[in-house]
A and B are shown apart, each in its own frame.
Chain A
Amino acid sequence: MKKLLNTLYVTTEGASLRKDGENLVAEVESAERARVPFHMLTSLVVFGGIFISPPLIQALAQLGITIVLLDRAGRFQARVEGPVSGNVLLRRKQYKVAEQPDEIVRSFVTAKIANQRLVLQRALRDYGSDMPPDRRERVEQVVDRQAAILRKVAFKTRGLDTLRGAEGEAALGYFSVFGDLIRSPDAAVCFRGRSRRPPLDPVNAVLSFLYTLLTHECRSAAEGVGLDPAVGFLHRDRPGRPSLALDLMEELRPIFADRLALSLINRRQLRAGDFEFQDSGAVLLNDDGRRTVLTAWQERKKEERRHPFLEEVAPLGLVPHLQALLLARHLRGDLDAYPPWIWK
Chain B
Amino acid sequence: MPELDDPIPISALQHAVFCIRQAALIHIERLWEENRFTAEGRVLHEAAHDPSRRTRGLVRRVTALPLACRRLNLSGTADLVEFRREAPGGPETPFPVEYKRGKPKLHRADEVQLCAQAFCLEEMTNRSVTEGALFYGGTKRRVVVPFDVELRRLTEETARAFGSLLAAGETPPAVYKHDRCRACSLIDVCRPKATTKTAAGFLHRAVEETLLRDASEAP
Contact = CB atoms under 8 A, between A and B. Distances in A.
Interface string B193-207: 011011110111011
B30 interface: yes
Contacts of A338: 199
B60 interface: no
A337 B29 contact: no
A21 interface: no
16 contacts: A87-B30, A107-B203, A110-B207, A114-B210, A155-B207, A309-B199, A309-B202, A329-B194, A332-B29, A335-B195, A336-B200, A337-B198, A337-B200, A337-B203, A339-B202, A340-B203
Interface residues of B, number: 32
A117 B194 contact: no
Interface stretch (B116-124, B148-156, B211-219): B211-219
Given A310-B194, A334-B191, A342-B206, 18 more contacts: A87-B30, A89-B29, A114-B206, A121-B215, A122-B218, A122-B219, A124-B215, A125-B217, A225-B189, A226-B30, A308-B202, A310-B191, A325-B189, A332-B171, A333-B171, A334-B173, A335-B199, A336-B198
Interface size class of A (residues with CB under 8 A): 35 or more
A333 B195 CA distance: 9
Given A122-B219, A310-B191, A226 B29 contact: yes
A326 B193 CA distance: 12
B171 to A, nearest CB: 6
Interface of B: 28-31, 169-171, 173-174, 188-189, 191, 194-195, 197-200, 202-204, 206-207, 210-211, 213-219
Contacts of A2: 188
Nearest to A64: B34
Nearest to B171: A332
A343 interface: yes
Contact of A150 (B31, B197, B207): B207
A107 B206 CA distance: 11
A334 B71 CA distance: 32
Q: Which 3 A-B pairs have the closest CB atoms?
A: A121-B218, A337-B199, A339-B199
Nearest to B170: A333
A325 B199 contact: no
